[in-house]
Amino acid sequence: MGIFSKIKNALKKTREGLSGALTKLFAKDKIGSEFYDELEEILISSDISVTTAEEIVEEIRDEAKKDRVKDKEFVTGLLKDVLEEKLTEADELEIKYPAVIMLVGVNGVGKTTTVGKLANYFLSKKKSVTVAAADTFRAAAADQLTVWAERAKVRIVKHEEGSDPSAVVFDALTSAKAKNTDVVIIDTAGRLHVKAHLMEELKKMSRVVERECPDANFYKLLILDATTGGNAINQAEVFDEAVELDGIVLTKLDSSAKGGFVISLCSELQIPVAFIGTGEKLDDLEAFDAEEFIEAIL
């Protein structure tokens, strides 16, 4: 299956909801004030925020008025262009090497699985990878990560359950430097974004990376479950405040009909989507492409 086919399949539920509603709207064959009100409602129902939906509709209305166009194909094209512009308001994340990537997020979003997929992704780019099992809180977290590391055939550094996560990070970085490793991926414990002491732990790990690898490219990626919808923006705001996020990894897109929140995320918070998960397998992770994403949901 090609990359675009994977993305299209993952976004099937979002596309069915959004595209189906747009088809009904265009079937009325009348593009006027009522049309734009309904278009805004459709966008909001796909979990695009009210603010972003209003901006999108206003841009389309202004452009259509300027060109005196009421053709639905023209308006559809405009919608695609405006949505893509919103997705690319945040600068695209370019991973440079050597790279240290720390994955953060709340419980149950798929961080550990994403570590394995990311490791496999970088291996496909001919890069050497070490993973750090810095989730020392959750029972058997290191064991679960070991399974993914073995599947991806990469090295893993881990300590006993209950150890200091920053000590795991330190040892992983020390090992990676000794072996000239291209990429270190750090798995962290899931934490509620309202728990201040857990957010401080992330800051501590960040300081270890910055102190031990000052010349490395350090990226903090937030893992977001697509089924969270618009609430994901609140999570992103708090994690961004704590560690200054560099990008987003979207998981479980295939389980959600509300992938539209991604557009608000990129537009309002200026945080780019770096990768999206397209399934359960090791190679079901793709670098994010705004144009492909829009084509897949419309």
Tokens of 120: 């496999």
Residue 230, classified by CB atoms within 10 Å of its CB into exposed (0-12), middle (13-18) or buried (19+), is: middle
Widest pairwise Cα distance in the chain: 67
Tokens of 126: 């001919």
Residues, the chain = 298
pLDDT digits (tens, 9 = 90+) for 161-173: 889 999 999 999 9
What per-residue confidence (pLDDT) applies to 25?
84
Distance CA 3, CA 246 (A): 24
- Of the candidates 248, 102, 124, the one whose C-alpha atom is nearest the C-alpha of residue 173 is 102
Residue 211, classified by CB atoms within 10 Å of its CB into exposed (0-12), middle (13-18) or buried (19+), is: exposed
Distance CA 277, CA 284 (A): 6
Q: List CB contacts of 132: < 8 A, sequence separation 6 or more.
A: 156, 157, 158, 168, 169, 171, 172, 173, 184, 185, 186, 187
pLDDT class of 246 with cuts at 50, 70, 90: very high
pLDDT at 29 > cutoff 70:
no
What per-residue confidence (pLDDT) applies to 157?
97
pLDDT digits (tens, 9 = 90+) for 256-269: 556 678 888 888 88
pLDDT digits (tens, 9 = 90+) for 77-100: 888 899 999 999 888 899 999 999
- Of the candidates 17, 275, 270, the one whose C-alpha atom is nearest the C-alpha of residue 124 is 275
pLDDT class of 226 with cuts at 50, 70, 90: confident
Peptide bond into 272 cis (omega under 30): no
Distance CA 207, CA 67 (A): 53
Would you list the DSSP string of 255-274?
Answer: G-S-TTHHHHHHHHH---EE
pLDDT digits (tens, 9 = 90+) for 129-151: 999 999 998 878 899 999 999 99
Phi, psi of 190 (to 5 degrees): -65, 140
> Which three-class secondary structure state does DSSP give residue 69?
coil
Question: What average pLDDT does the segment 284-291 reach?
Answer: 89
What per-residue confidence (pLDDT) applies to 255?
64
Cβ-contact 87, 263 below 8 angstroms: yes
> Which three-class secondary structure state does DSSP give residue 182?
coil
Tell me how crowded residue 244 is: count the other CB atoms within 10 A of its CB. 11
What per-residue confidence (pLDDT) applies to 172?
98
What per-residue confidence (pLDDT) applies to 63?
84
What per-residue confidence (pLDDT) applies to 71?
67
